[in-house]
């Protein structure tokens, strides 16, 4: 079976790529989502859960700045320049993963006081909830499309030397 670049990234360089590009950001984002529910239901804008929410929100957004920057320059640009996308399935998988990080970056910017300064706690909570929801939607689109076989839309792996794995798979 053929693989999208998304799945290839996660499968290569085990266990490091899986930890760097899936486990760490998902643990932080899920911590953010779980604490978000608590805050939505209790409206407690103080205490341990609120601090965990703010810290995980800032951390995952900052983390995704690095992930997105790294993948754009080491994978997206080279794959695009070489014309090596494995059908629209591949583009959707990688693109959704990268786009999914943008709402988390917005949360980090809010937590660090760069955006939404004029909003009260309720307004900031609404922005948080919307951003978490957007991340979940894009993240799931990335995972589902990333697991699809690009051969469904006609991709056939060749044995050419240009079909190298994603450049990001072997960090030094």
Mean pLDDT of all residues belonging to the chain: 91
Give the C-alpha separation, 49 to 125, whole Å. Answer: 14
The residue behind tokens 């703010």 is: 54
- pLDDT band at 74, cuts 50/70/90? very high
pLDDT at 168: 54
pLDDT at 172: 47
- The ranges assigned to domains in the chain are 5-153
Q: pLDDT per residue over 7-61, tens digit each?
A: 999 989 899 999 999 999 999 999 999 999 999 999 999 999 999 999 999 999 9
pLDDT at 167: 53
pLDDT at 156: 86
Q: pLDDT per residue over 110-159, tens digit each?
A: 999 999 999 999 999 999 999 999 999 999 999 999 999 998 988 888 76
pLDDT at 161: 46
Give the C-alpha separation, 85 to 80, whole Å. Answer: 7
Q: What percent of the chain lies above the pLDDT cut of 70?
A: 92
Q: The pTM is what?
A: 0.87
pLDDT at 1: 77
pLDDT over threshold 60, residue 103: yes
pLDDT at 159: 62
Maximum CA extent, the chain: 58
pLDDT over threshold 60, residue 164: no
pLDDT over threshold 80, residue 171: no
Residues 6+ apart with CB under 8 A from 169: 8, 9, 12, 13, 17
């Amino acid at each position: 079976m053929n693989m999208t670049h998304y799945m290839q990234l996660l499968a290569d360089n085990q266990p490091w790529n899986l930890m760097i590009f899936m486990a760490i950001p998902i643990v932080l984002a899920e911590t953010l989502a779980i604490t978000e529910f608590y805050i939505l239901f209790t409206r407690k804008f103080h205490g341990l859960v609120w601090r965990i929410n703010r810290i995980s929100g800032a951390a995952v957004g900052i983390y995704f700045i690095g992930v997105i920057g790294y993948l754009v320059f080491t994978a997206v640009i080279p794959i695009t320049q070489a014309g090596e996308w494995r059908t629209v399935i591949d583009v959707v998988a990688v693109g959704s993963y990268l786009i999914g990080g943008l709402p988390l970056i917005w949360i980090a910017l809010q937590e660090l006081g760069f955006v939404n300064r004029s909003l009260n706690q309720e307004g900031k909570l609404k922005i948080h909830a919307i951003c978490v929801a957007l991340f979940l939607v894009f993240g799931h689109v990335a995972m589902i499309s990333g697991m699809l076989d690009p051969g469904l839309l006609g991709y056939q792996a060749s044995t050419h030397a240009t079909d190298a794995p994603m450049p990001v798979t072997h960090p030094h």
